[in-house]
Amino acid sequence: MSEKIALQIDQLLVDSGLFETEVKPTAYDNDFDFSNETILITGAAGTVGSELSKQLFGCRYKNLVLVDMAESPLYDLIKTFELNHKNHTYYHLLNINDSAPLHFVFEKYKPTMVFHAAAYKHVPLTEEHPFAGIKTNIFATKQLAELSIQFGVKKFIFISTDKAVNPSGIMGMTKRIAEKHLSYLNVQYDTVFLNARFGNILGSNGSVVPLFKKQIKNGMPITLTEKDISRYFICKRKACYLILKMARFNKNTTNTFTFNMGEPIKIIDIIQRMLKYYNKNGSDIEIKYTGLRPGEKLFEEMISENEYLEPTLVEDIWAVKEKNKQKFEAIDFKSLEQINFYTPYSEIKSILKKYL
């Protein structure tokens, strides 16, 4: 492991609040003014949604509407806002797949800006439950976009993933299809649809880093899929700061953006840095290699072969542009609509591939 990668990992771990060293947390200026905006956040109690909400604590906004289907995490978020005495903040416990309550929220609050962070994001789980991934990642996104157009939302920011690039699994495929649909809508309607494509949030809910920490502290074997597996990482504070920066973007030649996440990091290197800080007694801890799980790739990419990156006026945000410009076409959802809970996995994957 190079010194540069070691420092990158340490900075990520510090920024994610996972340990303290002589490395200082990265500082971000909270200079956002949304005083004329009614902001709707889906998946508001999740890793990205809750961090977006918390970064908005210090901002001015007209109204903030927080939506999530997870009862306890949403309750915790409500209590956080109450402790900070934030007014003009509203909460709704609902599933974004349910059209009636979602329509009610749009009709009641008439949001001007939507941050769509709700999704099924776990690769192995969406492989096992593809219908759930399709319903939420594709059709709920489609429904939200249609409501945004209907109610005159000015900006719709979609939280995508690097797994949407050359996707091999169900999760990445669903996210890529959603990206393509929003890119089409962006050129057809006044609403600005922006795709924020970035890598793994270090220390996010359900991620491997908290599991590694638990395994190390308990002297358990550390489970890792492959020795050479690598990922792009970003801390949630930086990701959400850049998402809010993105919210200032208007119609442009592209609507997909990605963030500066440094070099891809081998997971084994993260384990080695964590062992240095958490394995205080120096005991031997075994690393068990379990093999790639269904839908997983050895490494991720930020752009496809037909794409390139171009700097924007905002530091650490890059525009994703196409080398050979293609006209965005409307997606015919008929085949996707035929998929149900009982559709065989092989058939589902075959249908999804037609839309990539």
Q: How many residues does the chain have?
A: 356
Return d(Cα 59, Cα 142) in angstroms, integer: 29
Other Cβ atoms closer than 10 A to 346: 8
Catalytic residue among 121, 142, 155, 163: 163
Contacting residues for 164 by C-beta, under 8 A, at least 6 apart:
172, 175, 176, 179, 197
Is-contact 305 93, C-beta < 8 A? no
Picking from 315, 341, 345, 339, the residue whose alpha carbon sits closest to that of residue 29 is 315
Q: Are 323 and 308 in contact (CB under 8 A)?
A: yes
Return the amino acid letter for 135.
K
| Strand spans (E) along the chain | 33-42, 60-68, 89-93, 113-116, 155-159, 192-197, 200-201, 222-224, 230-231, 233-234, 256-259, 265-266, 287-289, 307-311, 317-322
Check: CB of residue 181 under 8 Å from CB of residue 142. yes
Task: Judge whether 24 counts as a catalytic residue.
Answer: no
Burial 51-87 (b: 16+ CB within 10 A, else e): bbbbbbeebebebbbbbbbbeebbeebbeebeeeeee
* Residue 133: CA count within 13 A, CB half-sphere: 25
Question: What 3-state class would DSSP assign to 63?
Answer: strand
Q: Are 174 and 126 in contact (CB under 8 A)?
A: yes
Q: Taking a C-beta distance cutoff of 8 angstroms, is the pair 79, 106 a contact?
A: no
Query: Which residues are part of the catalytic machinery?
Result: 163
